[in-house]
Amino acid sequence: MSSEGEYSAVVLDHMRHPRNWGIINRSDGFSRITGPCGDTMEISLNVKDNTIVKCTFDTDGCGATVACGSIVTEMATGEKLCHARQIDQTMVLDCCRGLPAGNVHCAQLAANTLRSAIDDYFQTHQSPWKKIYRIQK
């Protein structure tokens, strides 16, 4: 368990005031991933003209996971899908100004969930009927 003093001011701010919290009904892309630690993150997207116009997250994870979800949704909003899909753990960690060693995987969970939500958009965009079968309404 990390103590507050180990987190950067950016991470503490996102932990205390998470941005883009929630799930979009009728999203264009959605993903839910449970990491090896047992924490789950969900990300949903709205897309227009190949650009992410809205990106939200939800998690049952720790404060660092909340901060990483909040940060990754801010990084993705307004980005072209191809650029947002490049966002990886290192980029999230950079935006966090680092995380304690025990929380580095929280950045990976956020980046992986974003990428998976973008892939879901591509899949359901090509075959809209697939939306009916995915976990989210």
Residue ranges that bind ligand FES, judged by CB under 6 A = 35, 37, 39, 61-62, 64-65, 103, 105-106, 109
Select 27 or 65, whichever has its Cβ closest to ligand FES: 65
Shortest approach of ligand FES to residue 71 CB, angstroms? Answer: 13
d(Cα 1, Cα 71) in Å, to the nearest integer? 21
The DSSP call for residue 80 is: B
Q: Where are the beta strands (DSSP E) in 18-120?
A: 29-34, 40-48, 51-59
Select 52 or 64, whichever has its Cβ closest to ligand FES: 64
Report the DSSP beta bridge partners of residue 56: 44
CB 79 within 8 A of CB 52: yes
Select 52 or 99, whichever has its Cβ closest to ligand FES: 99
Select 52 or 106, whichever has its Cβ closest to ligand FES: 106
d(Cα 90, Cα 87) in Å, to the nearest integer? 8
Residues contacting residue 128 through CB under 8 Å, at least 6 positions apart = none
Select 29 or 63, whichever has its Cβ closest to ligand FES: 63
Shortest approach of ligand FES to residue 80 CB, angstroms? Answer: 27
Single-letter amino acid code for the residue at 95? C
